[in-house]
């Protein structure tokens, strides 16, 4: 899956001090993918390798993007960081940890598989600042950031100082 929104959220949570956070087309959901039997088994294998000091060992495991299955070839440590349902890439885990002073703009496609859950599972737990906005749009997942570019730029320009 694509992880731009996940990485932005993790950065904001771990570093703080940001004027604002934009999450455009959030989609990578390790907390959901880990329920899959094959992904769960791969996560256990990766965790064993990392715990035994072999995090740099070559690793192949399942992944998915927008409902399509694919195979990820990387290291055990990278796979675990990417797919850990309790890790930094897990938006539902990190959302409540977003500092209350950081406004959030979440832009998501109404056609996204995550659309039905995004507001309740990520936006609401993270959006404490009154400048925060949730914006569903009609573009598809891959075109959402470009389709919302003007709205995103205006939101950033008007961030409270």
pLDDT for the residue numbered 1: 47
Dist. CA 119–CA 1, nearest whole Å: 19
pLDDT tens, N- to C-terminus, the chain (161 residues): 468 999 999 999 999 999 999 999 998 888 888 888 898 999 999 999 999 999 999 999 988 766 668 888 999 999 999 899 999 999 999 999 999 999 999 999 999 888 999 999 999 999 999 999 999 999 988 899 999 999 999 999 999 88
pLDDT for the residue numbered 3: 82
3-state secondary structure 1-14: CCCHHHHHHHHHHH
pLDDT for the residue numbered 66: 61
The model carries a pTM of: 0.86
């Amino acid at each position: 899956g694509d992880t731009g929104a996940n990485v932005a959220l993790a950065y904001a949570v771990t570093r703080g001090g940001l004027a604002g956070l934009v999450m455009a087309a959030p989609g990578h959901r390790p907390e959901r993918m880990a329920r899959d039997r094959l992904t769960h088994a791969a996560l256990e294998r990766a965790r064993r390798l990392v715990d035994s000091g072999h995090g740099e060992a070559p690793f192949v495991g399942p992944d998915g993007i927008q409902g399509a299955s694919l195979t990820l070839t990387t290291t055990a440590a990278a796979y675990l960081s990417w797919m850990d349902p309790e890790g930094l890439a897990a938006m539902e885990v990190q959302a409540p940890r977003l500092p209350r002073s950081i406004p959030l703009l979440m832009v998501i496609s109404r056609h996204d598989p995550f659309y039905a859950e995004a507001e309740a599972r990520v936006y609401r737990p993270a959006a404490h600042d009154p400048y925060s906005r949730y914006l569903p749009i009609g573009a598809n997942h891959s075109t959402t950031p470009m389709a919302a570019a003007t709205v995103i730029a205006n939101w950033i320009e008007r961030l409270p100082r």
